[in-house]
Structure 1
């Protein structure tokens, strides 16, 4: 009898744990800046904007996004972060990437971009979050014309 009570309590506990109904929604990438250029390397900073549609908080665990500029992969954002995400809220993930200007294959173009020319940027990858230890993977595939500052 005692075993049956313990099993019943465990089953109730497992089914009462709140699971995410939906993965966080990716909104956009914004606030893109080249913050430092040293020799042939440049540091790119941006923010990824999301919305958590669930009525439970989540924890961001990992960011893995390829940065593609004018059709050429220039770097990967690979960050492990443990950030709390509030329920039913917008949240921002800061992104940092270092890339080799030579990989873009057009130093003159990069310099004109820094002067204000628009370029096509694509961000492709995923973020990982979890709710009560249950992993959620959110795909990212976003393209836009950007002007680096």
Structure 2
């Protein structure tokens, strides 16, 4: 979590990839949705990134969670439980588009991570 105000809570993280191929390309998210503790929170945004050849790389992702969404009793309970247990489950689901030499292909992402909260 990097910022919070009356409208949004802003979270940032990195997505890690490995390109074992001889050529690079471009990568962009297309409506990648995020769920925290099985609750829909918002859509991930990122810029288009160049994919290096033969390298591991990461791209920064930003999620703006509407503060109104947190006023829901189930959401508040889930967040409080996450803070007390110092961890939460984050799911990323949607498509990532990879473009190379003018051709593009979409890859479906459905990944769940357990995130530790540092207080």
Query: TM-score, normalising length from structure 1?
Result: 0.66
CA RMSD of aligned residues (A): 2.2
Aligned partner of 2:17 among 50, 66, 69: 50
Structure 1 segments of 4+ aligned residues over 6 angstroms from their partners: none
Show structure 2 runs of 5+ residues with no match.
none
Give the deviation of 1:118 after TM superposition.
1.3
Show structure 1 runs of 5+ residues with no match.
1-33
Aligned partner of 1:128 among 80, 83, 97: 97
Mean CA deviation greater in 107-116 or 90-99: 107-116
> Which structure would you say has the larger Rg?
1
Q: Distance in 2 between matches of 1:67 and 1:145?
A: 13
Give the deviation of 1:73 after TM superposition.
0.6
How many residues in Structure 1 have an aligned counterpart in Structure 2? 115
Query: TM-score, normalising length from structure 2?
Result: 0.80
The 1:45/1:109 distance shift into structure 2, 3 A limit, reads: same
Q: Is the 8 A contact 2:37 2:78 kept in 1?
A: no
Q: Distance in 1 between matches of 2:35 and 2:105?
A: 24
